Amino acid sequence: MQTPTSAPESSPRPKRRKAKWLIVPTAVVLTCLACSGKGILDEGIQEKTTACPKAMSTIGWKLPEGASDQHCEKLDTLVGSTVSGTFRIPRAHARLWLAALPGERNRPVEGAGADGVVERREGLSLTILKPPKGPADAVRITALWEGNDTAVVTFQTFDY
């Protein structure tokens, strides 16, 4: 005796097709979002060469007389901006210039004079905790000796 066969169950295929139709648009949307997000991040960080007197003026300082081989940059990000640069000055003027820079000095550290300038065999360094102008929280300056007559000065602002 034959048993009646039950009606075939509905095929799960249409459900799979629906799932495929949901996956493809979702993947396209996510890809577009990832690409546009990358563009936003790329545009959010902009490094620009700037004149050193202008870079120094943003923190309330003046470029020392006799500065040569100047190269300064401004970096704008989504959270703020920093300036940095290098230039050469006569070695004989380096300590006087560093000591005269306005701003709140770091607490005395080993090797620092009363003016906050640290003197080492290779050159000088100074950290200013708060420059007189601008949004920077600190500035680090070094003057490395380059021969007997020249110092290479490097400075960089920091936002904490």
Residue 70 or 10, more confident: 70
What pLDDT digit, counting tens, does each position of 63-78 carry? 998 899 999 999 887 7
Mean predicted confidence (pLDDT) in 45-70? 91
> Residue 23 above 80 pLDDT?
no
Residue 60 has pLDDT above 90, yes or no: yes
Q: Name the residue with higher pLDDT: 38 or 137.
A: 137
Question: How would DSSP label each residue in 44-89?
Answer: H-EEEEE-HHHHHHTTT--PPTT-EEEEEEEEEETTEEEEEEEEEE
**pLDDT of 6 higher than 60:** no
Name the token pair of 30.
């996510």
Tens digits of residue pLDDT in 120-141: 999 999 999 989 998 888 999 9
Q: How far apart are CA 20 and CA 1, in angstroms?
A: 44
Give CA separation, 24 vs 29, 37, 59, in Å: 9, 20, 52
Please report which confidence band the pLDDT of residue 11 belongs to, taking 50, 70 and 90 as the band edges.
low
**Predicted local confidence at residue 61, as pLDDT:** 94
Q: What are residue 107's DSSP bridge partners?
A: none
Structure confidence at residue 40 (pLDDT) = 45
| pLDDT single digits (tens) 76-117 | 877 778 899 999 999 999 999 999 999 988 666 777 888 889
